[in-house]
């Protein structure tokens, strides 16, 4: 308290001068129309700049909630796409056990479920991604996983009640059936364990017309991914000396450095297809 009084006593004249100047400015602005308008405009500009900066800060802290809402909205919109449904054959009478999506009898084939990425590795020889969604949220093994831009990320390998593990494309055991968009040739996409976001396309014959910039997408030959999801673009085409194939280097569509949300894809027809294949295999073996 004593220091406060000493401060006031020392700077008393200056403090009185400042107070009188403020009072004079108030009188001028308050009783003069022109000065009042100028002051109002100046204060509005200052207030607007302060509010703009405040909104930027507030928006930054709301990004997490915004991203979660966008993921939910994208999940809902993806599940309404026509390619996620199969139209039954109308030339014969068909009994559908499940409820059709609409009155024309279309039944759902694919469903997308949004999931938050808990952790992701890219530097190990075998990389995995952990998702905060598990069996309690309808996630199962062998489901395909894509990023928000429909770029292939990997396949679910293990599931607990509330979490699941994805074997990403950056895994030496990962093999995804793929097609070149331009020529339609099919091969396998693998990772050589070197550069993240750089993959290899194998089993493409040297007779195929492949060029840098060609796009690569899922073949639809498996029950894991729908046909036509992006895998990457061709970066380099090198003929293999020991075979009649190309060694094609591609850049992955998914950015494994910055995965925050992904979509897990369920194929409602996979159990039926796999059951038929298992029965056929057993008959062949017997």
Helix (H, G, I), strand (E, B) or coil at 152: strand
Residue 176 pLDDT class (50, 70, 90 cuts):
very high
Residue 149 pLDDT class (50, 70, 90 cuts):
confident
pLDDT of residue 199: 92
pLDDT of 167 > 80? The answer is: yes
Least confident of 106-110, 173-177, 200-204, 212-216: 106-110
Structural domain contains residue 84: no
Query: 124 and 255: one domain?
Result: yes
Query: 158 and 242: one domain?
Result: yes
More confident residue, 270 or 63: 270
Query: 259 and 120: one domain?
Result: yes
β-bridge mates for residue 130, sequence order: 119, 165
Q: What range does the domain containing 23 cover?
A: 2-60
d(CA 278, CA 283): 9
Residue 169 pLDDT class (50, 70, 90 cuts):
very high
Please count the structural domains in the chain.
2
- Interacting residues of 130 by C-beta distance below 8 A, sequence separation 6+: 117, 118, 119, 120, 163, 164, 165, 166
CA distances from 112 to 2, 72, 117, 240, 259 (A): 70, 10, 15, 38, 17
pLDDT of 237 > 80? The answer is: yes
pLDDT of residue 165: 93
Q: Which helix (H) or strand (E) holds 117?
A: strand 110-120
Structural domain contains residue 161: yes
The tens digit of pLDDT for each residue in 255-275 reads 898 888 899 999 888 888 888
pLDDT of residue 177: 92
Query: 41 and 132: one domain?
Result: no
β-bridge mates for residue 176, sequence order: 189
What's the chain's average pLDDT?
A: 80
Q: Can you give the pTM of this predicted structure?
A: 0.65
The highest-confidence range among 90-94, 97-101, 191-195, by mean pLDDT, is 191-195
Least confident of 13-27, 97-111, 136-150, 262-276: 97-111
Residue 96 pLDDT class (50, 70, 90 cuts):
very low
- Interacting residues of 141 by C-beta distance below 8 A, sequence separation 6+: 156, 157, 158, 159
Query: 135 and 11: one domain?
Result: no
pLDDT of residue 97: 41
Structural domain contains residue 284: no
Residue ranges of the alpha helices (H) in the chain?
A: 2-10, 12-31, 33-61, 63-78, 270-285
Query: 46 and 173: one domain?
Result: no
Look up residue 249 and give its two tokens: 């280097």
Residue 128's CATH number: 2.40.10.340
More confident residue, 179 or 14: 179
Query: 119 and 211: one domain?
Result: yes
Q: Are 156 and 142 in contact (CB under 8 A)?
A: yes
Structural domain contains residue 80: no
Give mean pLDDT, residues 21-32: 75
């Amino acid at each position: 308290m004593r220091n406060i009084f000493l401060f006031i006593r020392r700077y008393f004249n200056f403090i009185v001068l400042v107070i009188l100047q403020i009072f004079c400015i108030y009188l001028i602005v308050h009783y003069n129309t022109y000065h009042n308008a100028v002051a109002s405009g100046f204060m509005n500009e200052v207030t607007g700049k302060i509010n703009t900066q405040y909104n930027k800060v507030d928006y930054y802290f709301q990004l997490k909630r915004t991203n979660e809402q966008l993921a939910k909205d994208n999940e809902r919109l993806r599940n309404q796409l026509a390619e996620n449904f199969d139209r039954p054959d109308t030339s014969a009478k068909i009994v559908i056990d499940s409820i059709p999506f609409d009155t024309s009898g279309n039944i759902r084939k694919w469903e997308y479920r949004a999931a938050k990425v808990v952790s992701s590795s890219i530097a190990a020889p075998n990389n995995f991604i952990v998702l905060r969604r598990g069996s309690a949220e309808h996630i199962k093994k062998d489901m395909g996983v894509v990023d928000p831009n429909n770029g292939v990320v990997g396949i679910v390998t293990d599931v607990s009640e509330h979490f699941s593990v994805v074997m990403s494309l950056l895994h030496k055991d990962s093999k995804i059936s793929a097609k070149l968009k331009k020529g339609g040739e099919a091969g396998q996409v693998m990772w050589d364990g070197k550069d993240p976001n750089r993959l290899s396309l194998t089993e493409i014959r040297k007779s195929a017309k492949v060029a840098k910039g060609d796009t690569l997408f899922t073949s639809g030959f498996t029950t894991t991914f729908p046909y036509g999801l992006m895998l990457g673009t061709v970066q380099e085409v090198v003929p293999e000396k020991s075979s009649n194939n190309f060694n094609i280097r591609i850049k992955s569509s998914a950015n494994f450095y910055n995965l925050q949300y992904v979509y897990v894809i369920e194929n409602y027809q996979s159990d039926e297809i796999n059951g038929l294949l298992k029965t056929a295999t057993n008959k062949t073996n017997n």
